[in-house]
């Protein structure tokens, strides 16, 4: 488990980016950190593998204090995908990029290339294997950056804005991979503004505002509260937004704490069926 205990962090400019944050992250869950730009999401992610050290408080990864451990050691447990993929590229081809990361963690060259190929195929990047990473589109670069980290399969994977640059198909591929990782008992921590994507994949949502946690709970409890989301400068997802509108138009019995389209359709169908039977009885 990763634990943050009353973590404060200030940059050299004096800006306090985190203010007394206490959180935990476990394997087998997908936690989404959400909030406006400057809320502290990226700063928090960089604390998980020791790139940043707390000004006050402490961060532990499976009991290891990040203040006294190297980034190289922590990276074996916590893989971090940066928001700007270009910051992660070091080699001349896509295949070499992924296999190089594996070799740095001790894999033999042939084994590294084999595993790199599997990951690239999973992300539909295999046909770019001989291309330079820098010639890829923005979405393809993002997928490659995630592939690099997923290749060595760390226990925890932290991804900064995973859907930036991805089209609808890319988001669906990523969602499936993240859910498979969660089911294989890995811990996934995301920072994101994408409320629809988070609604589909997250098992827990943490809202941040000016470096403080203002909410931490199940997606159906956090992402269905417009006033709370407004505090974090986020929009309400489409499904609960529609349900709120229907409630305002008279369907007061409608449960607004739904995020999935299938659940909303089923609930509406039952409600309309009940209303139809009631009308028949009255006649």
pLDDT tens per residue across span 247-278? 777 666 666 677 777 777 777 777 666 555 55
| In 88-218, alpha helices (H) | 94-104, 109-122, 138-151, 168-183, 195-201
- Whether residue 129 sits in one domain with residue 268: no
* Whole-number pLDDT of residue 130: 93
DSSP 207: E
pLDDT band at residue 194 under the 50/70/90 scheme: very high
Q: Copy the structure tokens of residue 25.
A: 């992250």
- Cβ(17)–Cβ(23) below 8 Å: no
Does the structure show a pLDDT above 90 at 171?
Answer: no
Closest CA to 36 of 208, 181, 206, 239: 208
Buried b (16+ CB within 10 A) or exposed e, 17-28: bbbebebebebe
Computed over every residue of the chain, the mean pLDDT equals 87
Question: Is 224 among the domain residues?
Answer: no
Block residue for tokens 């042939």: 110
Of 163, 190, 218, the domain-final residue: 218
**226 or 206, higher pLDDT:** 206
Question: Is 228 among the domain residues?
Answer: no
- Whether residue 170 sits in one domain with residue 53: yes
What is the Cα–Cα distance from 159 to 147, expressed in whole angstroms?
A: 11
For residue 164, the SS3 value is coil
CATH of the domain at 161: 3.40.50.300
- Find the angle CA(231)-CA(195)-CA(29) to the nearest 5 degrees: 105
Question: Is 231 among the domain residues?
Answer: no
**172 or 217, higher pLDDT:** 217
Residues 39-61: pLDDT tens digits? 999 999 999 999 999 999 999 99
- Whether residue 188 sits in one domain with residue 259: no
DSSP count for the chain of H helices, then E strands: 11, 10
Question: Is 227 among the domain residues?
Answer: no
- Whether residue 264 sits in one domain with residue 189: no
Question: Is 229 among the domain residues?
Answer: no
Question: Is 230 among the domain residues?
Answer: no
- Whether residue 262 sits in one domain with residue 203: no
Question: Is 278 among the domain residues?
Answer: yes
- Whether residue 156 sits in one domain with residue 257: no
Question: Is 42 among the domain residues?
Answer: yes
Backbone angles phi, psi at 171, to 5 degrees: -65, -40
For residue 105, the SS3 value is coil
For residue 101, the SS3 value is helix
- Whether residue 248 sits in one domain with residue 202: no
Per-residue pLDDT, averaged over 130-158, amounts to 88
- Whether residue 280 sits in one domain with residue 148: no
- Whether residue 162 sits in one domain with residue 72: yes
- Whether residue 280 sits in one domain with residue 181: no
**236 or 276, higher pLDDT:** 236
* Whole-number pLDDT of residue 167: 83
* Whole-number pLDDT of residue 283: 45
**277 or 67, higher pLDDT:** 67
What is the Cα–Cα distance from 155 to 148, expressed in whole angstroms?
A: 14
- Whether residue 250 sits in one domain with residue 207: no
- Whether residue 171 sits in one domain with residue 45: yes
Tell me which residue range forms the domain holding 158: 2-218
**272 or 115, higher pLDDT:** 115
> How many structural domains are present in the chain?
2
């Amino acid at each position: 488990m990763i634990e943050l205990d009353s973590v404060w962090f200030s940059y050299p400019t004096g800006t306090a980016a985190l203010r007394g944050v206490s959180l935990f992250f476990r394997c087998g869950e997908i936690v989404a950190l959400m909030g406006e730009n400057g809320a502290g999401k990226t700063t928090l992610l960089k604390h998980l593998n020791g790139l940043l050290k707390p000004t006050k408080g402490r961060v532990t990864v499976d009991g290891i204090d990040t203040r006294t451990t190297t980034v190289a050691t922590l990276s074996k447990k916590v893989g971090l995908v940066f928001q700007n993929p270009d910051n992660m590229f070091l080699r001349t081809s896509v295949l070499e990029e992924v296999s190089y990361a594996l070799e740095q963690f001790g894999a033999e060259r042939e084994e590294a290339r084999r595993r790199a190929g599997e990951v690239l195929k999973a992300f539909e990047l295999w046909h770019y294997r001989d291309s330079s990473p820098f010639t890829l589109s923005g979405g393809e670069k993002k997928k490659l950056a995630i592939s690099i980290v997923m290749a060595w399969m760390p226990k925890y994977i932290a991804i900064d804005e995973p859907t930036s640059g991805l089209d609808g198909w890319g988001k669906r591929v990523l969602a499936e991979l993240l859910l498979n990782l969660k089911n294989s008992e890995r811990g996934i921590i995301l920072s994101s503004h994408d409320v629809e994507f988070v609604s589909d994949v997250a098992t827990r949502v943490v809202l941040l505002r000016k470096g403080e946690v203002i909410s931490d709970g199940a997606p159906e409890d956090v992402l269905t509260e417009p006033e709370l989301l407004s505090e974090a400068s986020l929009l309400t997802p489409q499904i609960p937004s529609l349900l709120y509108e229907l409630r305002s138009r008279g369907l007061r019995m409608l449960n607004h704490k739904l995020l999935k389209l299938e659940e909303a359709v089923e609930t509406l169908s039952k409600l309309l069926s009940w209303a139809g039977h009631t009308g028949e009885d009255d006649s």
